[in-house]
């Protein structure tokens, strides 16, 4: 058995670790800065010459040996930049120097994260063992029906050809026959060396963008992205390879991981803005890192506020959930095995396991998942394991839901998945209702589609709510266009900790609740996760 395992180094979270992990680039560092609105004019000149329109900032850049300045994040706003520099100072010192100018909303390290999957190349197994779709217990150590009921779902829909699913990963093998006719084409762009559609990306016609190398070729040079994309989007019923969850929709490819499976948060954030602004309906991110970041959380919020679901893997360290899955406006996805238990461990390392915690939303099949090869169009003897492989099952399902009911909001989708996912399917840690190991349950594509197709959308629109601030330290405001009949707040164990039947209620005071994650349910119809800080 020829075995290839990529051992991924855990994302650094302290400065000593950072220095030890980037010795190969000496003391090169990257920071993210975002100008305050009133100082925006200082940001927009001389970037190609590694200068800003401010003498003090340029002196700082000189002192820190700045090598490059690149517009990133929400590039339309022209206030956020990634700065690469060479300095023996610590990140803490550098960040303080830039913050002391008073010109920035924030200054932070440009953290690195990684892809959440690992692969195995067997010499004897055949490809037709997609237990995640239909589990008849013939797969080793499997349980019958420990699957997402894809065949039943495909009888209802195989995806809308006009829908766009964004895969933010190491790229995709664009010429793979499983993706024939499925790669998104930017019809507003003309390949002539200029940005004809004025989206700030030159000649981004075929597929999307490479945020690692800053070019228009998001081809996979690692393998992680092709595998992830195939799980969500490989064409089905075509007599070759495998069936993805969605057989028909278009795939936007945003390369945010390099050939070593690592990527800077600035790449990730900019790709989210790109996907949202260029028409994606759902985003898959099978990536994560240990550090929270303002640029990344703002990007997740941008997608959420534009009604785009961002599906994120939780990580494989058998520990707490990584970022950006940890952010409340994303969907945090863990992994299950062929016997429906939480993946603990994955096949490639006895110390690995699906990350867990109060931020977990759902689980999906993620271990021993056969997939596509980024080096071959004909090699199907390839399987991976990780929460990276779980997330695209959910992304594919959500794309099917939107295909059938385009008016669904992010919170509609969350509610549908809560109501349709299978509970009490794992070991004794899978307790009734929400729990930190299985979230709200293992997804079921067929049940979710039935829930969506029978959902009274007009009824939900009648009771449309905005709940803010979230997170909150005490007061929650309720903006709504419908009558509030009742409000219930549940803790992560499903216990009701607050209930109110005040028809004119516009605010809630939850200051007496302990810090943590809760679920607020209004009129027994609308559910949203809230965080008490």
pLDDT tens readout for residues 279-294: 999 999 999 999 999 9
Let me know if 458 is a catalytic residue: no
Query: Of the residues 388, 399, 403, 421, which is catalytic?
Result: 388
Let me know if 169 is a catalytic residue: yes
Task: Please give the Cα distance from 394 to 362 (Å, whole number).
Answer: 9
Mean pLDDT over all residues of the chain?
A: 87
pLDDT tens readout for residues 402-432: 999 998 999 999 999 999 999 999 888 998 8
pLDDT at 471: 82
Residue 460 has pLDDT above 90, yes or no: no
What proportion of the chain, given as a percentage, has pLDDT over 70?
A: 86
Tell me the CA distances in angstroms from 413 to 19, 170, 400, 417, one per residue in order. Answer: 42, 27, 11, 6
Look up residue 527 and give its two tokens: 């559910």
pLDDT at 188: 94
Taking the CA atoms of 353, 359, 363 and 366 in sequence, report the sign of the dihedral they define.
negative
The mean per-residue pLDDT over the stretch 311-328 comes to 98
Q: What is the pTM of this model?
A: 0.79
Look up residue 345 and give its two tokens: 């461990």
The residue ranking higher by pLDDT, 12 or 139, is 139
pLDDT at 52: 87
Let me know if 403 is a catalytic residue: no
Task: Please give the Cα distance from 95 to 208 (Å, whole number).
Answer: 33
Residue recorded with tokens 């998942």: 369
Task: Please give the Cα distance from 175 to 162 (Å, whole number).
Answer: 20
Look up residue 364 and give its two tokens: 């999906």
pLDDT at 126: 39
Kindly indicate the confidence band of residue 472, based on its pLDDT and cuts at 50, 70 and 90: confident
Query: Of the residues 160, 169, 221, 340, which is catalytic?
Result: 169
pLDDT tens readout for residues 179-190: 999 999 999 999
CA atoms within 13 A on the CB side of 131: 25
pLDDT tens readout for residues 481-532: 556 667 888 876 667 888 877 656 678 889 889 888 788 887 766 777 788 8
Query: Of the residues 133, 176, 224, 374, which is catalytic?
Result: 224
Max Cα distance, the chain (Å): 69
Collapsing DSSP states into helix, strand and coil, what is residue 114? strand
Q: What angle do CA 389, 392, 395 make, to 5 degrees?
A: 160
β partners of residue 31: 83, 109
Residue 458 has pLDDT above 60, yes or no: no
Domains identified in the chain and CATH numbers:
15-110 (3.30.70), 116-455 (3.40.50.200), 461-532 (2.60.40.3080)
pLDDT tens readout for residues 74-102: 988 889 999 999 988 999 999 999 999 99
pLDDT at 492: 66
Residue 164 has pLDDT above 90, yes or no: yes
245 alpha carbon, distance to own chain's centre: 17
The residue ranking higher by pLDDT, 272 or 477, is 272
Count of Cβ atoms closer than 10 Å to residue 197 Cβ = 17
């Amino acid at each position: 058995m020829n075995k290839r395992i990529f051992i991924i180094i855990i994302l650094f979270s302290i400065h000593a670790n950072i220095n030890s992990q980037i010795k190969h680039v000496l003391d090169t560092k990257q920071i993210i800065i975002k100008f305050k609105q009133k100082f925006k004019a200082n940001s927009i000149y001389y970037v190609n010459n590694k200068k800003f329109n401010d003498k003090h900032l340029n002196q700082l850049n000189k002192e820190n040996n700045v090598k490059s300045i690149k517009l990133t994040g929400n590039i339309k706003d022209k206030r956020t930049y990634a700065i690469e520099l060479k300095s023996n100072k610590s990140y803490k010192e550098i960040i303080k120097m830039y913050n002391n100018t008073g010109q920035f909303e924030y200054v932070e390290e440009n953290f690195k994260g990684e892809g959440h999957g690992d692969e195995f190349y067997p010499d004897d197994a055949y490809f037709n063992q997609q237990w995640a779709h239909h589990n008849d217990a013939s797969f080793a150590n499997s349980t019958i029906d420990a699957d997402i009921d894809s065949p039943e779902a495909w009888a209802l829909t195989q995806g809308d050809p006009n829908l766009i699913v964004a895969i933010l990963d190491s790229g995709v093998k664009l010429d793979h026959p499983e993706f024939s006719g499925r790669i998104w084409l930017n019809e507003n762009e003309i390949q002539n060396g200029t940005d004809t559609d004025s989206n700030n990306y030159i000649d981004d016609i075929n597929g999307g963008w490479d945020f690692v190398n800053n070019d228009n070729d998001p081809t996979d040079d690692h393998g992680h992205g092709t595998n992830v994309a195939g799980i969500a989007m490989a064409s089905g019923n075509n007599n070759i390879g495998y069936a993805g969850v969605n057989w028909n929709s278009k795939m936007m490819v945003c390369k945010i991981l390099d050939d070593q499976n690592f990527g800077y948060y600035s790449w990730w954030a900019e790709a989210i803005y790109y996907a949202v602004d260029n028409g994606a309906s759902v985003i898959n991110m099978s990536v994560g890192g240990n550090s929270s970041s303002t640029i990344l959380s703002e990007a997740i919020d941008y997608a959420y506020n534009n009604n785009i679901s961002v599906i994120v893997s939780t990580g494989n360290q058998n520990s707490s959930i990584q970022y950006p899955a940890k952010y409340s406006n994303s969907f945090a996805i863990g992994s299950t095995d062929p016997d429906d238990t939480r993946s603990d461990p994955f096949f490639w390392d006895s110390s690995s396991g699906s990350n867990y915690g109060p931020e977990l939303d759902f689980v999906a099949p993620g271990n021993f998942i056969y997939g596509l090869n980024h080096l071959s169009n004909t090699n199907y003897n390839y399987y991976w394991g990780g929460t990276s492989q779980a997330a695209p099952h959910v992304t594919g399902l959500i794309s099917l839901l939107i295909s059938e009911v385009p008016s669904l909001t992010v919170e509609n989708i969350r509610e549908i998945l809560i109501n349709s996912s299978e509970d009490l399917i794992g070991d004794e840690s899978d307790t009734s209702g929400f729990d930190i190991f299985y979230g709200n349950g293992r997804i079921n594509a067929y049940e979710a589609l039935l829930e969506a197709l029978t959902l009274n959308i007009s009824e939900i629109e009648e009771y449309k709510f905005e709940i803010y601030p979230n997170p909150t330290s005490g007061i929650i405001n309720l903006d709504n266009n419908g009558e509030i009949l009742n409000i219930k707040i549940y803790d992560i164990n499903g216990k009701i900790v607050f209930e109110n039947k005040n028809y004119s209620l516009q605010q809630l005071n939850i200051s007496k609740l302990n810090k943590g994650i809760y679920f607020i349910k209004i009129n027994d119809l609308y559910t949203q996760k809230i965080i008490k800080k």
